[in-house]
């Protein structure tokens, strides 16, 4: 039976993120290395987000909304709540 436990590999030791497995004996494990998010990848994602926000600012997609509350009701298709 396979169980999954989350941990961080620090050198040659595992530091448990969640509760560690309940065992008192040595046992074989398999460790799967997850892709690390690098600082360069985070910066690139931030740059792309900034470009997307600049594009939105240029086209001003919400300029024709006169009443934001009414627009939200229309979009969400609010209905009267029972007993209110």
Residue 2 belongs to some domain of the structure: no
Residue 84 belongs to some domain of the structure: no
Residue 31 belongs to some domain of the structure: yes
Containing structural domain, residue 17: 7-76
Read off the pLDDT of residues 32-76 as tens digits, 9 standing for 90 and up. 888 777 788 888 999 999 999 999 999 998 889 999 998 888 888
Residue 57 belongs to some domain of the structure: yes
pTM of model > 0.95: no
Query: Which DSSP string corresponds to the chain?
Result: ------EEEETTEEEESSPPP--SS-------PPPP--HHHHHHHHHHHHHHHHHHHHH-TTTT-S-HHHHHHHHHT--PPTT-
Residue 41 belongs to some domain of the structure: yes
**Considering its fold, how many domains does the chain have in total?**
1
Residue 13 belongs to some domain of the structure: yes
Q: How confident is the model at residue 80 (pLDDT cuts 50, 70, 90)?
A: confident
Residue 83 belongs to some domain of the structure: no
Residue 66 belongs to some domain of the structure: yes
């Amino acid at each position: 039976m396979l169980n999954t436990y989350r941990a961080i590999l620090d050198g040659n030791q595992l530091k448990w993120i969640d509760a560690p497995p309940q065992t008192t004996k040595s046992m074989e494990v398999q460790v799967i290395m997850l892709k690390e998010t690098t600082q360069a990848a985070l910066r690139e994602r931030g740059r792309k987000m900034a470009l997307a926000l600049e594009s939105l600012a240029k086209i001003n997609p919400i300029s024709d909304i006169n009443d934001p509350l009414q627009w939200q009701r229309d979009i969400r298709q609010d209905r009267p709540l029972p007993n209110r």
